[in-house]
Structure 1
């Protein structure tokens, strides 16, 4: 019996824990509709995460997923950061804002936050997932002792084997099509860039642990295809961005429903790690000098956030982190519960059609 059965889900569907987009209201609505909702707490501290968990618990009694970032501790490089800020300076000037003098990482890795583990042990979410890597063995064991289902995003067989050895109950096979940040354990290592079909099938044939397919899946037919490949469920992120309960702002929603959805780009210049988003000002940046290497994740994010704030003050919304996968043109704007029910009907039809 896989964790999908253990959780009592009506539908083999997980909503991706998109930090900043996956609000408690969205997660609860997905859960109450029979799928697994999620919140991403990697962009907040333990107190903020505790509040988000409490908000979900107030809206649903069903299991939900809490996702944390386990990225490598960023190493400041003053020279690299200065070169990056110097390259961005003309853009800040264009919007009448001074370029930052220093950059500080806006997010803390789970492995560097002494308060996050005790908070999770106290709140005892039924599902906890990890992005960018794996926690220390003693932390994994402590979380397992609460009875939580543990999941890790992986982009290769090697990462999946590491996740299984670490004690994960399942892996999220993130294909290159997926929106948001690549879940690479080591961002400096070569990325084979496996698509969701190849990666899901590879991991299903390996058979080490249950596989959740993620990347480009937007509807019931896509979920059916992933199940046919051997996945126990599919994880959808971009599909939920246009839902009324999501945290996406008006500019993000408008871009998602427009021509930019057909042209997603994998970029490192926003945060310092490769992430797929809608084509916008970031994807067309040019300057008088070649673009230097951005600072380490998430230090680079500090500059991107500052530039986005300055640009938005002047009416320019193209510097937002508008993450989206290659299935973005298939996005539908509707309440989350309606979307889950629609996907469930589409999945049933796909299965019926295939006999």
Structure 2
């Protein structure tokens, strides 16, 4: 499937909105993998700029990722209670909490302008996270010649993806860093690992599967290929590359003790996401207020992080990372891709 795009290596660089950059995606695509950018945290104007910058840096295929979360329902009382619970931490950094919270990211399902932009710009791949847009939107993207990927964390979600006419399923194991791709964050999550989920989807779905979660080296890529995946998606493995926008605190945390203790938390954004253990994730043990909906809660999380960073404290950042974080290596993206493939080729397949 990926070879039809001119992708020669079984490597997909995860989109990682807010961390991935056009420079990172271009480096991965130019090295033979599928580079990705995430535009779920920007508007159509910002997305256009990112795609244009990426297209200027590579003539190879790349992936543009969007968030398809449910439209959040504001709850002013719940949001006010959340801000009150966070107030002591804002006070500690000499900053007032926001007076109110906003819906800072529009869902792709509610953004016809973003749909039009993607149809106009025609990236080779568009990937969907948190769910699926309307049948009309899917049809329009496919009519434009765009290959569609969608994240599944369960067989049930994968079957919905298959029925919707998507081209490739990304099997996201519980090990993965960043936001869980669950369609409904309020439903029970079986927390399937990458190995079990990949095999379930390979055996029970007809679509190609890309495995994601905890894969950090060539041996991991070889393992999921042996499970039947056409490629591995790696995100945390690329965070330490100089081409990402990760700040110094994030990079230091990735190489520190907290990387051995990643945990799922909804405190930062309002949706479950795996992060490096830090001062923000630790608030789960002391806060008892209900977290607002995604991405409304993220407005508070970003404000608290900004107040902390202004005082030299990086422990309130959204330092997303998977369980393989301690295996991260700091090197240019093209060098990392080459290293991954050397490791992949060295795996004994006897």
How far is the alpha carbon of 1:321 from its aligned partner? 0.2
Distance change (3 Å), C-alpha of 1:290 and 1:56: closer
* Aligned equivalent of 2:135, options 128, 134, 137: 137
The 2-side partners of 1:136 and 1:303 are apart by 30
The 2-side partners of 1:299 and 1:290 are apart by 17
The 2-side partners of 1:284 and 1:278 are apart by 10
Alignment of 1:35-114 (within 5 A): 35-114=33-112
Partner residue in 1 for 2:147: 149
How far is the alpha carbon of 1:286 from its aligned partner? 6.3
Partner residue in 2 for 1:304: 301
Partner residue in 2 for 1:178: 176
Distance change (3 Å), C-alpha of 1:290 and 1:260: closer
The 1-side partners of 2:7 and 2:80 are apart by 49
Give unpaired runs (5+ residues) of structure 2.
Answer: none
How far is the alpha carbon of 1:259 from its aligned partner? 1.0
Partner residue in 1 for 2:225: 227
- Per-residue CA distance 1:51-98 (angstroms, 9 max, x = gap): 000000000000000000000000000111111111101111111111
Contact 1:161 1:208 in 2 (8 A): no
Alignment of 1:149-298 (within 5 A): 149-285=147-283, 290-298=287-295
* Aligned equivalent of 1:328, options 312, 325, 342: 325
Contact 2:158 2:205 in 1 (8 A): no
The 2-side partners of 1:99 and 1:38 are apart by 34
State the secondary structure of the residue aligned to 2:112: coil
- State whether structure 2 residue 336 is matched by structure 1 residue 339: yes
Q: TM-score, normalised by structure 2?
A: 0.99
- Per-residue CA distance 1:328-349 (angstroms, 9 max, x = gap): 0000000000000000111111
Contact 2:162 2:205 in 1 (8 A): no
- Per-residue CA distance 1:240-295 (angstroms, 9 max, x = gap): 000010111111001101111101010000000000010100121268x7521100
The 1-side partners of 2:337 and 2:40 are apart by 25
Partner residue in 2 for 1:354: 349
Contact 2:174 2:192 in 1 (8 A): yes
State the secondary structure of the residue aligned to 2:274: strand
In the alignment of these two chains, the number of paired residues is 350
The 1-side partners of 2:191 and 2:67 are apart by 21
The 1-side partners of 2:284 and 2:148 are apart by 42
The 2-side partners of 1:281 and 1:193 are apart by 24
The 2-side partners of 1:120 and 1:88 are apart by 38
How far is the alpha carbon of 1:208 from its aligned partner? 2.2
The 1-side partners of 2:35 and 2:287 are apart by 42
How far is the alpha carbon of 1:40 from its aligned partner? 0.2
The 1-side partners of 2:112 and 2:200 are apart by 36
Contact 1:126 1:148 in 2 (8 A): yes
Moved over 2 A (4+): none
Partner residue in 2 for 1:123: 121
How far is the alpha carbon of 1:9 from its aligned partner? 1.5
State the secondary structure of the residue aligned to 2:148: strand
Contact 2:29 2:60 in 1 (8 A): yes
Q: TM-score, normalised by structure 1?
A: 0.97
After superposition, the CA RMSD in angstroms is: 1.0
Alignment of 1:14-53 (within 5 A): 14-53=12-51
